[in-house]
Structure 1
């Protein structure tokens, strides 16, 4: 006798509701992602079992961002935040970048495939710290974790040591209030870069920035991106040790 292995309709409804709740949480987590001038230049569209990410051009300024590179990078960071949130909730998702060549503003699609074999531990919410750090240098294991996270997203990270870093001359920016030479002596600078000048590269660069930021927060490292006056696709990351309470992505 054949055994009907199809799920009961009530189980299917429960699964659908669980996926919908997970997607809503992922969108909320994506809202915490860093973005150029805090514009959050993205728009999410929820389907039955997935999310579509679109570049929201109405939030952009042609004067400050005519080629939408940093805006696309910001969307990449939001995309990675959403991916992490789904994984943290125990869902396996497939990511398709630039799914419709005829619509370049449609940046990505996340499709929930089902429960993950085991939920991953939730990563921490990003935080930055402009104050002078306590003086401890970042250890090699902490730095290796951040480098690994960046490489996993298809980008590269080049670390600059104090005798190599002349940040002020690169950016033309004076130090912010509360920062100073003590900050620079105990911190590390790194250049996050992604080869290529296409929207796909910009999107992947944003995912790598998010991965570095979340990893840094999880291991107690402050990360401050300095990109406004640095030639794209290079983003300078200011890394320093912290000892602050940590919140987790829902």
Structure 2
């Protein structure tokens, strides 16, 4: 800690290096990290909000919340944890009472560099219901909800809505152009989804349509998994601050799933089409809009997406650089 009780620059930079490993739509990385006299702020970088997929910045706010969860875990394992407060488009982290990290914090922290969205087709292996219950309980403890498709009829509805949304988006030339702009043929790119992370090209017979980031053709023409673990995720609220809070809960969920040995795929297409999003909300009988459709299970490993240099996403309050604190 510095004399004022905030984190020093080295601790800040190291934690940001882990925070940026959070997921974001098309790996757009729409965040900035600012060290202040009061702590750290994680804010939406409005210049990196996708105008077609995410015109109101909802997905960017979720991503900033997810990055803040990584940041908080990185700080916790140093023994200098943070208290997080979510606002519209921002998470503020203030120093909390010094303590040792909990065993769960240490386990989740270890998963930060290992977790990534799996864009490969899932294999034939059923997830134990007890494991899925642990995921749902963790989300509920964080103030959210995770509703699994408990029967074939519900699964068919979720899959159908995801396919409808994907088809509507694919029919929009602006969407296709935006998707292509973030599909990188070179895996050395620091943003977007490279071929090693893209997985195979989606096939029309797949149960849950994946985005086409330019991967190779898929040999399998159907989804081999019986009783796939598909769920709808959301929180109790639909204001901008609730979307940031959803990101905080979501990243905890994703890290816990990785700790339990699961692969995770994320489908935001039904959230990006307002009419389909409303149908999805009604299908799961929720008061507030869903934030994401998720699939948990087992899949062949795919590459991770790259990240921009830490120096490109962080800044320091002039009051600190002027020597008044820090």
Whether TM-score is above 0.5 comes out as: yes
Is the Cα contact below 8 Å between 1:202 and 1:233 reproduced in 2?
no
Report the secondary structure of 1:37's partner residue.
helix
Task: Give the TM-score taking structure 2 as reference length.
Answer: 0.62
Alignment match of 2:35 (pick from 46, 55, 58) = 46
Q: Structure 1 residue 108 and structure 2 residue 149: aligned?
A: no
SS across alignment from 2:245: helix
- Give the alignment's Cα RMSD to 1 decimal: 2.9
Higher relative contact order (CA 8 A, sep 6+): 2
1:192 lines up with 2:182 in the alignment? no
Does the residue aligned with 1:190 lie in a helix, a strand or coil? strand
Q: Which of 13-22 and 85-94 deviates more? A: 13-22
Q: In the TM superposition, what whole-angstrom CA distance separates every residue of 1:180-238 from its partner, at most 9, and x where no partner exists?
A: 3213x252101101232201111111112111110011110111110123325341111
1:46 deviation in Å?
Answer: 1.2
- The correspondence of residues 164-203 of structure 1 with structure 2, limited to 5 A, is 164-166=154-156, 167-171=158-162, 172=164, 173=166, 174=204, 175=206, 176=210, 177=218, 180-183=222-225, 185=226, 187-203=228-244
Which is worse superposed, 84-93 or 36-45? 84-93
- Whole-Å separation in 2 of the counterparts to 1:179 and 1:187: 16
- Quote the offset at 1:53 in angstroms: 1.3
Q: What's the offset of the Cα at 1:15?
A: 11
Structure 1 equivalent of residue 296 of structure 2: 239
- Equivalent pairs counted in the alignment come to 228
Structure 1: runs of 5 or more not aligned: 1-11, 99-103
- Secondary structure of 1:129's aligned partner: coil
Structure 2 residues not aligned, in runs of 5+: 167-203, 211-217, 272-276, 278-288, 305-326
Deviations 1:8-51 (A, max 9, x none): xxxx7699797543322221111010112211111110135621
C-alpha offsets along residues 76-131 of structure 1, whole Å, 9 cap, x if unaligned?
11111111222233222111222xxxxx54x1211123431445424213223343
Aligned residues of 2:16 and 2:71 also touching (Cα < 8 A): yes
8 Å Cα contact 1:130-1:179 kept in structure 2 = no
Distance 1:195 1:225 in 2: 20
Per the normalisation by structure 1, the TM-score is: 0.79
Q: Aligned runs of 1:58-77 on 2, under 5 Å?
A: 58-77=47-66
Q: Which has the higher strand share?
A: 1
Match of 2:136 among 147, 157, 168: 147
Contact 1:132 1:180 in 2 (8 A): no
Matches within 5 A, 1:81-100: 81-98=70-87
Matched, 1:218 2:218: no
CA distance in 1, matches of 2:253, 2:117: 12
Q: Structure 1: how far apart are the matches of 2:224 and 2:2?
A: 57
